[in-house]
Amino acid sequence: MLSFAALASAGALAGCNINVVGGGTTCEVDGVVHDPGESFPDRDGCNTCVCSDDGTVACTLRACAAGCTYDGVDYAPGASFPASDGCNTCTCDPSGSGNVGCTKIACHGCEPGAEFPADDGCNSCTCDADGNLVCTDVFCAEGCTQDGIDYKPGESFPSPDGCNTCTCTADGAIACTERACACDPEAEWWRSYVADSPEQCQVIDFICPENTEYFGNACGCGCEQDASCPEYFNCMPPEPCDVEAIQARCPYSQIVY
């Protein structure tokens, strides 16, 4: 016969709640017949019972961890099950506290074959044939900064030229449309006009400084700095500033001392 640290007969063990029928050489528990010496799980899911030689049932008396109830269904400690939102997963606390913990990923209702951006702004998701959401798992850049404003990957915002649109890409770069814009040399602080008409631009020859690029429009042509450069850099104490580096990268921005 198996040995147990704590045993009690079925008649005296209310905690096991075992229904024993008959006696003799076998034990019948909840419609299942067990031979003498055979052990089997108790209904509580944590104790163990054994069929004795005289046909009675004895069970261990260990304290059982509490299970969990979620949406009217009981779960054993450590069990995992779908959340009610249909996309997250919940787990019954293995310690027996009775608490339920669930993942908190954003859920999307989707049609098989549908594609859309992931919530992180840089990955993409596809709804498979079973309606499950499958997303890429590439590293996402922290974001982009334009004119002192932070943007998330995938977020769009106005270009400094006032007519184009820029987008923060997954690798942290800024990509902008290149539509022809109405020009205003006085307002375009990020540009340095070398010629004030398209006709002059056809005959003039010049080289743009480092970290600037050629541009041309209806007002003329010249050099423009990177779109990520803000109009002003705050170098007022105690703000630390590398003035030479700023002037080299953003030659048309103003530095406030």
pLDDT of residue 108: 58
Q: What is the rounded distance in angstroms from the CA atom of residue 131 to the CA atom of residue 126? A: 9
Q: What is the rounded distance in angstroms from the CA atom of residue 40 to the CA atom of residue 36? A: 11
pLDDT of residue 7: 42
Lowest mean pLDDT among 25-34, 170-179, 188-197, 229-238: 170-179
Q: Cis peptide before 153, with omega less than 30 degrees from 0? A: no
Q: Is the model's pLDDT at 61 over the cut of 50? A: yes
Q: Is the model's pLDDT at 24 over the cut of 90? A: no
pLDDT of residue 109: 60
Ramachandran category for residue 241: left, alpha or beta (phi over 0 → left; psi -120 to 50 → alpha): beta
pLDDT of residue 115: 83
The percentage of the chain sitting over the pLDDT mark of 90, rounded to a whole number, equals 25
Q: Is the model's pLDDT at 13 over the cut of 60? A: no
Q: What is the rounded distance in angstroms from the CA atom of residue 115 to the CA atom of residue 192? A: 43
Q: Is the model's pLDDT at 223 over the cut of 90? A: yes
Kindly list the distances between the CA atom of residue 243 and the CA atoms of 179, 233, 246, 248, 254, in Å, as whole numbers in the listed order: 33, 9, 5, 8, 10
Q: Name the maximum alpha-carbon separation found in the chain.
A: 115
Q: 84 near 38, Cβ under 8 Å?
A: no
- Report, as an integer, the average pLDDT of 199-226: 91
Q: Is the model's pLDDT at 82 over the cut of 50? A: yes
Neighbours of 95 (CB within 10 A): 11
- Count of H helices and E strands in the chain? 2, 25
Structure tokens at 125: 């998701």
Q: Is the model's pLDDT at 14 over the cut of 50? A: no
- For 30-60, write each residue's pLDDT tens digit: 889 999 999 998 877 778 899 988 888 999 8
Kindly list the distances between the CA atom of residue 162 and the CA atoms of 40, 173, 187, 234, 248, in Å, as whole numbers in the listed order: 77, 19, 10, 23, 24
- Write the DSSP string, 185-247: TTT-TTEEEEESSHHHHHH----PPTTEEEEEETTEEEEEE-TT--SEEE--TTS---HHHHH
pLDDT of residue 239: 79
| pLDDT confidence tier of residue 121, bands split at 50, 70 and 90 | low
Q: Is the pTM of this model over 0.85?
A: no
Residue 59 CA to its chain's centroid (Å): 47
| pLDDT confidence tier of residue 225, bands split at 50, 70 and 90 | very high
| pLDDT confidence tier of residue 153, bands split at 50, 70 and 90 | confident
> Alpha helix (H) ranges present in the chain?
198-203, 243-249
